[in-house]
C-alpha cells in the first residue's frame, strides 16, 4: 500500500472493481511467431513488421511495473533485473514494489486477468471483459459509434485525397498511412493485403488540416461509472509512431476541462454501455477550426505509468514538468545505464526513472521518464543520460 495519497497505482485502481485479479501487461502480436501471446486465429492485430521479441517479452511489459503497486499481482513472462528494482525503490519510495508472477501461475485459478487487449491464448472466462467485446472496442471503425466529433470517414469506392488509411486493428501506428492520390492508395492497399496478408477491415479518413496539437487524454472508468482522471500528455510523433509525451502539471486541469463534455463523457457512456471498465486513452486532434476524436484505446496506455508517476512527482516533490522518452538506444549496458541515471539523480537537478532497459546486440535500449522543475531541465537531463562521454561518479 502506498504511503502517499498522490502515489496512485494501477493495482489500486483495478482493485476498486476487482478485489482479486491479475494484471497482464503483454501486448498481442499476429506477426511474431513463437510469441506466447500470438493472435493468429482470433483477434488478429496488424503489427507488421513486429517489434523485436525482447521488446514484446521484456521492454514493453516491464515499463508498467514502477507504478503497478502491490495490490494486484502482475503476470509476466520475464522478471525485471535486480538493478532495475533497486533503482525504482530508491527513486520511487512511495510506490510499493509490484508482485510479479508467471502467466502460468495466473492461469491456474479462476481469478480474472486484466489484459491490455483480447488474447486468443487466454481462456475467455479469464478475461476481465469478454475478449470479443474488448476486440470490438479496439477497432478504429468503432469510434464512429461514439457520439463525438470525428474526421469524415469515406467508403473505399469514393475516396477524396489526401486521405488517411487506417487498418481497423493495428499497433504502434503501424497501420496508419497518408496517401495523396490513386496510385499511392493502390500501392498501399496492395502492400497491406497481399504482402502483409491483412484481410481485416480498413478505415479511410479525411486528412484534418492546420493541426495545432494532438494530446493524449487518459482516465480510469470504474464499474460504478465513476471516472478517475489520470492525466494528459502532449504527444510527440515520428510519422504516425508515438515517441515522446510531455507533461506540464499546471495545465492538467485545463486539458481535462477542454475535452470533458464533448469527448470524455460520450466515450465513458459508450464504453460503460458495452460493459467495459478499466483504463482508457483517447486522442483528440486540435485545430484552429475544431476538435476531432481520432483514437480510443480502452486499455492501459503507453504513458499510463508516466502519468501516475508525474502526479506524484508534481504534487509531492514539486517537479511539475516531465516527459516520457521511448525507444532510446545507448552505447552502454542496461546495468550501466541505470547506474548512470542514479548518479545524475544524485546531483539534484531532477529525477530520471528508467522504466525499462534491455541489452541489445550493441549497447542497450530503454524507456525513460524524466521529471524536473522546468521543461528545459527535462530536455537537459535527457541529453545528459544519452550523452556517451558523461562520466558518472559512483
Give the model confidence (pLDDT) of 184-204 as tens digits: 999 999 999 999 999 999 999
Distance from C-alpha of 335 to C-alpha of 358, rounded to nearest angstrom = 9
- The whole-number average pLDDT for the span 90-109 is 97
Integer CA distances (angstroms), 279 to 10, 20, 228, 388, in order: 9, 17, 9, 37
CA angle centred on 157, ends 155 and 163, rounded to 5°: 60
- CB-based contact 69:2 (threshold 8 Å): yes
State how far the Cα of 302 lies from the Cα of 287, in Å rounded to an integer.
24
Mean pLDDT of the region 350-377: 95
pLDDT in tens, 230-269: 999 986 544 444 446 899 999 999 999 999 999 999 999 9
On the CB side of 264, CA atoms within 13 Å amount to 22
Q: From CA 233, how far away is CA 306, in angstroms rounded?
A: 9
* Nearest Cα to Cα of residue 265 among 315, 294, 298, 227: 227
- The residue assigned the cell 522518452 is 325
Q: What is the dihedral of CA 115, 119, 124, 128, to 10 degrees?
A: 10
Alpha carbon distance 297, 275 (integer Å)? 15
What are the helix (H) ranges across 250-374?
A: 252-259, 265-273, 304-317, 334-345
Q: Is the pLDDT of residue 358 over 80?
A: yes
Q: Which three cell numbers stand for residue 48?
A: 507488421
User: Alpha-carbon distance 213 to 234, whole Å?
Assistant: 7
pTM of the model: 0.93
Whether the per-residue pLDDT at 145 is higher than 50: the answer is yes
Report whether pLDDT(368) > 50: yes
Q: What is the pLDDT of residue 50?
A: 86
Q: How many CB atoms lie within 10 A of CB 237?
A: 12
Amino acid at each position: 500500500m502506498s504511503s502517499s495519497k498522490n502515489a496512485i497505482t494501477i493495482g489500486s485502481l483495478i482493485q476498486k472493481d476487482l478485489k482479486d485479479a491479475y494484471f497482464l501487461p503483454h501486448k498481442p502480436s499476429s506477426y511474431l511467431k513463437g510469441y506466447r501471446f500470438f493472435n493468429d486465429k482470433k483477434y488478429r492485430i496488424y503489427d507488421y513488421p513486429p517489434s523485436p521479441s525482447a521488446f514484446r517479452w521484456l521492454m514493453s511489459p516491464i515499463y508498467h511495473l514502477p507504478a503497478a503497486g502491490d495490490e494486484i499481482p502482475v503476470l509476466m513472462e520475464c522478471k525485471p533485473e535486480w538493478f532495475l528494482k533497486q533503482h525504482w525503490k530508491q527513486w520511487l519510495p512511495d510506490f510499493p514494489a509490484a508482485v510479479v508472477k508467471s502467466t502460468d501461475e495466473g492461469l491456474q485459478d479462476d481469478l480474472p486477468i486484466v489484459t491490455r487487449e483480447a488474447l486468443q491464448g487466454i481462456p475467455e472466462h479469464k478475461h476481465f471483459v469478454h475478449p470479443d467485446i474488448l476486440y470490438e472496442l479496439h477497432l478504429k471503425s468503432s469510434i464512429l459509434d461514439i457520439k463525438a466529433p470525428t474526421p469524415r470517414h469515406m467508403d473505399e469506392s469514393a475516396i477524396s485525397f489526401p486521405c488517411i488509411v487506417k487498418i481497423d486493428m493495428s499497433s504502434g501506428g503501424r497501420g496508419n498511412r497518408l496517401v495523396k492520390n490513386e496510385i499511392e492508395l493502390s500501392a498501399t492497399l496492395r502492400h497491406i493485403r497481399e504482402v502483409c496478408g491483412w484481410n481485416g477491415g480498413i478505415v479511410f479518413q479525411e486528412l484534418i488540416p492546420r493541426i495545432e496539437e494532438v494530446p493524449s487524454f487518459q482516465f480510469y472508468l470504474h464499474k460504478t461509472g465513476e471516472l478517475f482522471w489520470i492525466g494528459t500528455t502532449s504527444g510527440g510523433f515520428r510519422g504516425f509512431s508515438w515517441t515522446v509525451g510531455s507533461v506540464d502539471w499546471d495545465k492538467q486541469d485545463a486539458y481535462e476541462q477542454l475535452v470533458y463534455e464533448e469527448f470524455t463523457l460520450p466515450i465513458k457512456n459508450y464504453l460503460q454501455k458495452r460493459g467495459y471498465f478499466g483504463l482508457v486513452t483517447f486522442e483528440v486532434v486540435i485545430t484552429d477550426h475544431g476538435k476531432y476524436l481520432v483514437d480510443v484505446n480502452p486499455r492501459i496506455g503507453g504513458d499510463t505509468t508516466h502519468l501516475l508517476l508525474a502526479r506524484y512527482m508534481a504534487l509531492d516533490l514539486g517537479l511539475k514538468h516531465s516527459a516520457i522518452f521511448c525507444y532510446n538506444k545507448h552505447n552502454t549496458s542496461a546495468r550501466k545505464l541505470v547506474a548512470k541515471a542514479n548518479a545524475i539523480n544524485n546531483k539534484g537537478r531532477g529525477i530520471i526513472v528508467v522504466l525499462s532497459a534491455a541489452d541489445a546486440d550493441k549497447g542497450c535500449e530503454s524507456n525513460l521518464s524524466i521529471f524536473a522543475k522546468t521543461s528545459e531541465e527535462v530536455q537537459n537531463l535527457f541529453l545528459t543520460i544519452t550523452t556517451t562521454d558523461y562520466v558518472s561518479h559512483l
